[in-house]
Copies of this chain bind each other. A is one copy, B any other.
Amino acid sequence: MKDIARRAGVSQATVSHILRGRHGDFRISEGTAGRVLQMAAQLGYRPSALARNFQSHRAFSLCLAVGDLTDSFWSGVATGAQQEAERHGYTLVVSNTGEIEEKERHAIDLLRERRVDGIILCPIQQKPAHLKELRASGRPFVFVDRTVDGFDVSSVVTDNIAGMRMAVDHLVGRGHRRIGYVGGPIDRSTFRDRLKGYRQGLAAHRLHPGPYAVAPSEPEAARQAAMRVLGARPSVTAVIGANFWLTVGTLRAAPDDVVVVGFDDLVLTDLLRRPVTTIVQPVEALGREAVRLLIDDITHPGPPRHLVLPPKLVVRGGAGE
């Protein structure tokens, strides 16, 4: 920038003004502006983002801290988030929490060191001590997918209750009366809501809840839980899995004559031994909206906002007889 200034015969401040495109606000003649711009182009000038970040106290980057990027749910969220971040001139840093509190902390440290301007966090429940700290520090963050009780922070989640009701409605509409449920630990808001949706759905049809088992989100435990559900009498004609891995476990356990409906989409469904109807979450939109909320909070701090996005029922046959 100094070079440009010297060669264009103006001050460095002027160059800055022109390059920032503010020669409207500041009184700078077209001639000078043109000269400077041309000089800049000629010298192949690239502004130093490092200096700019430093001076503006902003890193222009956001962190997405989620459990497992390998999971198609999170890679979808990441993709949406990345696109939206890029649209706004931000960079997206990914961080794997692996659902481990200590690593979540590490991600948060990024924010506190100012290496990122804000965090999109998929909170690991349990003890939100460091979340309190984080909020106290006044740095922006939003929740995605899950929320934390008693923590009024902006969030973007799927409408889990509605989604699960759709699943139940679908099955009931196909004649099922006895519907089992393989759920996840209810210390996660998602699983709480899905269970609620399941119950509400059944109640709306004046049906009793079917057998219900809980397992951590992991296929083998899920399979065992599904076995318990399937072993219950009177026996079920359909089982719902409350998330991807729970559905996988259920599929592994369920005989062909039991219909399985899953929360979270499966891939390559046409190659599966049987079709599986699923509730699919708007994964990329979750990422996109989380970024929007976060950037909004960074640039115009305000009260927390909560977005609830609708999922979709994708019928793949297999729920009918």
Contact = CB atoms under 8 A, between A and B. Distances in A.
Interface of A: 46-51, 53-54, 57-61, 68-70, 72, 75-76, 78-79, 82-83, 86, 91-96, 106, 110, 112-116, 248, 251-252, 266-268, 270-273
B273 A272 contact: yes
Contact of A93 (B61, B70, B79, B268): B61
Contacts of A61: 61, 91, 93, 115
A82 B70 contact: no
A272 B273 CA distance: 5
Contacts of A59: 49-50
A113 B82 CA distance: 18
A54 B46 contact: no
A47 B109 CA distance: 11
A82 B69 contact: yes
A258 to B, nearest CB: 14
B94 A92 contact: yes
B113 A49 contact: yes
Contacts of A268: 248, 266-268, 272
A82 B53 contact: no
A272 B53 CA distance: 50
27 contacts: A48-B114, A49-B59, A49-B114, A50-B53, A50-B54, A50-B57, A50-B58, A50-B59, A51-B54, A53-B53, A53-B54, A61-B115, A69-B78, A69-B82, A70-B72, A70-B75, A82-B94, A82-B96, A83-B96, A91-B93, A91-B115, A93-B93, A248-B271, A251-B271, A252-B271, A266-B268, A271-B273
Q: Which are the 4 A-B pairs with shortest beta-carbon distances?
A: A54-B54, A49-B113, A75-B75, A49-B115
Nearest to A83: B96
A106 B87 CA distance: 11
Contacts of A248: 268, 271
Contact of A252 (B57, B58, B270): B270
A112 B48 CA distance: 9
A272 B270 contact: no
A69 B75 contact: yes
A115 B252 CA distance: 46
Given A50-B59, A113-B48, A267-B267, A86 B93 contact: no
A121 B248 CA distance: 34
B70 A96 contact: no
Contacts of A75: 69-70, 72, 75
A172 to B, nearest CB: 25
